[in-house]
A and B are shown apart, each in its own frame.
Chain A
Amino acid sequence: MSAAGSTTALVVGAGIGGITAALDIANSGFPVVLVEREPSIGGHMAQLSETFPTLDCSQCIMTPRTVEVGHHDLVRLHTYSEIESVRRSDSGGFVVGIRRRAAYVDGDKCTGCGVCQEKCPFKVESAFERGIGPRKVIYTLSPQAVPNKPVLDAEHCRYLQSKWDMQAGRSPSVDKNGQPVSPKCGACAKFCPTGALNWDQQDTLVEEEVGAVILATGYDLLPASRLPEYGGGELKDVVDGLAFERLLAASGPTAGKVLRPSDGAVPKHVVFVQCSGSRDPERGVPYCSKICCLYVAKQAMLYKHRVPDGEASVFYIDVRAGGKGYEEFVTRAQEEHHVRYLRGKVSRIYAEDGRLIVKGVDTLSHRAVEVQADLVVLATAIVPRVSTPGVAGLFGVAADENSFLVSGDEEMAPVESGAEGVFLAGAALGPKDIPETVAQASGAAAKVLSLFLRRRMAETTAPAGEGMRAA
Chain B
Amino acid sequence: MTQAARAYSYFPGCTLATTAVDYDLSGRAVAAALGLELNEVPDWNCCGATFPLSAENVMSFIAPARVLIAAERSGHDLATLCAVCFHVLKRSDAYLRAHSEAAERLNAFVTEGDYTGQTRVRHLLGVVRDDVGWEAVKQRVAAPLTGLAAAPYYGCLLLRPQEEMEFDQAERPRVLQDLLRVLGATPVEFPRQAECCGSTLVVSAPDANRRLSTAVVDSARRAGAAMIVTACPLCKYNLDQAQAGRPSPEQLPVAYFTQVMAAAFGMLQVAGPAFAVEAAT
Q: Residues of A at under 8 Å CB distance from B? A: 228-229, 232, 348, 350-353, 357
A352 near B222 (CB under 8 angstroms)?
yes
Q: Residues of B at under 8 Å CB distance from A? A: 169-172, 190-191, 219, 222-223
Contacts of B191 in A (CB 8 A): 348, 350-352, 357
Give the shortest distance, in Å, between A352 (CB) and chain B (any CB): 5
**Helix, strand, loop or mixed for chain B's interface?**
loop
Instruction: Give bound CA distance, A82 to B121, whole Å.
Output: 48
A228 near B222 (CB under 8 angstroms)?
no
Instruction: Give bound CA distance, A228 to B193, whole Å.
Output: 13
Instruction: Give bound CA distance, A228 to B169, whole Å.
Output: 9
Instruction: Give bound CA distance, A232 to B219, whole Å.
Output: 20
Give the shortest distance, in Å, between A51 (CB) and chain B (any CB): 34
Of all chain B residues, the one with the shortest Cβ separation from A229 is B171
Sample of 17 A–B contacts (CB below 8 Å):
A228-B169, A228-B170, A228-B171, A228-B172, A229-B171, A232-B171, A232-B172, A348-B191, A350-B191, A351-B191, A352-B190, A352-B191, A352-B219, A352-B222, A352-B223, A353-B222, A357-B191
Contacts of B219 in A (CB 8 A): 352
Contacts of B222 in A (CB 8 A): 352-353
Contacts of A350 in B (CB 8 A): 191
Give the shortest distance, in Å, between B212 (CB) and chain A (any CB): 12
Instruction: Give bound CA distance, A350 to B190, whole Å.
Output: 9
Give the shortest distance, in Å, between A418 (CB) and chain B (any CB): 34
Instruction: Give bound CA distance, A251 to B237, whole Å.
Output: 56
Contacts of A351 in B (CB 8 A): 191
**Helix, strand, loop or mixed for chain A's interface?**
strand
Indicate the member of A228, A232, A351, A353 with the most B CB atoms within 10 Å.
Answer: A228
Contacts of A352 in B (CB 8 A): 190-191, 219, 222-223
Contacts of B169 in A (CB 8 A): 228
Instruction: Give bound CA distance, A351 to B192, whole Å.
Output: 11
Instruction: Give bound CA distance, A352 to B223, whole Å.
Output: 8
Instruction: Give bound CA distance, A353 to B172, whole Å.
Output: 19
Instruction: Give bound CA distance, A229 to B159, whole Å.
Output: 14
Instruction: Give bound CA distance, A401 to B111, whole Å.
Output: 46
Instruction: Give bound CA distance, A232 to B171, whole Å.
Output: 9
Contacts of A232 in B (CB 8 A): 171-172
Contacts of A348 in B (CB 8 A): 191
- Ranked 5 nearest A-B pairs via Cβ: A350-B191, A228-B171, A228-B172, A229-B171, A352-B191
Instruction: Give bound CA distance, A350 to B171, whole Å.
Output: 11
Instruction: Give bound CA distance, A232 to B191, whole Å.
Output: 13
Instruction: Give bound CA distance, A228 to B171, whole Å.
Output: 6
Instruction: Give bound CA distance, A228 to B194, whole Å.
Output: 12
Give the shortest distance, in Å, between B169 (CB) and chain A (any CB): 6
Contacts of B172 in A (CB 8 A): 228, 232
Contacts of A228 in B (CB 8 A): 169-172
Of all chain A residues, the one with the shortest Cβ separation from B169 is A228
Contacts of B223 in A (CB 8 A): 352
Contacts of B170 in A (CB 8 A): 228
Instruction: Give bound CA distance, A23 to B120, whole Å.
Output: 62
Indicate the member of B172, B222, B223 with the most A CB atoms within 10 Å.
Answer: B172
New contact pairs (14) apart from A232-B171, A350-B191, A352-B190, CB-CB < 8 Å: A228-B169, A228-B170, A228-B171, A228-B172, A229-B171, A232-B172, A348-B191, A351-B191, A352-B191, A352-B219, A352-B222, A352-B223, A353-B222, A357-B191
Of all chain B residues, the one with the shortest Cβ separation from A234 is B172
Give the shortest distance, in Å, between B219 (CB) and chain A (any CB): 7
Contacts of B171 in A (CB 8 A): 228-229, 232
Give the shortest distance, in Å, between A468 (CB) and chain B (any CB): 57
Instruction: Give bound CA distance, A301 to B171, whole Å.
Output: 32
